[in-house]
Amino acid sequence: MASKLTTIGFDADDTLWQNEQFFRMTEDRFVALLGEHGEAAEISGRLLEAEKRNLGFYGFGIKGFVLSMIETAIEITRGQVPAAVIGEILAAGREMAAHPVETLPHVQETLAVLSGDYRLVLITKGDLFDQERKLAQSGLGDFFHAVEIVSDKKPETYGRIFARHGDGAGRAMMVGNSLKSDILPALEAGSWAVHVPHELTWVLEHAEEPAGHDRYRRIGDLGGLTEILRELGPAK
């Protein structure tokens, strides 16, 4: 099965480094702050609804999450949220933005091996400033031929990026933890796609696994990627 892959795209958050766990920790803190105004499940549900509404306005990332928490606090307290609580929410957001980057298992060594044979492209959603900060702190930047920070991931996004930085989607692979954003649209664009599940993937990124698709693979961690590539044949 000669693949002639030349380009591999990598998601960032929860594929190369930890991300969702900090959102979960902050959400727990937010729920505790508003505990006297409702049950935990209700508060979390209201926050998720606010996040859904706000994606089109604020996009993905910490800033949009903080604004959604503030909006939810105003709604739940019927406009009576204390200024101190707003201050706590803002402080929690700053702590998220300042948290050290924690790379996931086998990331460093896998990128080091692959960067000599393939064009590696970081393809990530989120706030430009925050994603650039995390990439710089991760120490992984030198492995990538290009970095693309996008507002959303759709088939045309992958088609455009793999044409710009490689030889088209047909000779590219996307690797990530989100079935909805990393896997399904990359397959639709004609790429290979490798799912690396993360136990805390955000609920809005869940989707049905494309089991049986001839260009789809699933691995337990990034260390399994080199075996997939050996199966598909030599680079270039």
What confidence tens digit (pLDDT) does each residue in 33-55 have?
999 998 999 999 999 999 999 98
pTM: 0.87
The identity of residue 220, as a single letter, is: G
Provide the token pair at 130.
């925050």
Residues whose CB falls within 8 Å of the CB of residue 31, separated by 6 or more in sequence, listed in order? 40, 43, 44
Query: What is the pLDDT, as a whole number, of residue 235?
Result: 59
The candidate with the shortest Cα–Cα distance to 228, out of 197, 199, 198, 196, is 196
Kindly report which listed range (147-151, 196-200, 223-227) carries the lowest average pLDDT score.
196-200
Contact 24, 44 (CB under 8 A): no
Contact 112, 226 (CB under 8 A): no
Euclidean distance between CA atoms 192 and 87, whole angstroms: 45
Query: What is the pLDDT, as a whole number, of residue 210?
Result: 94
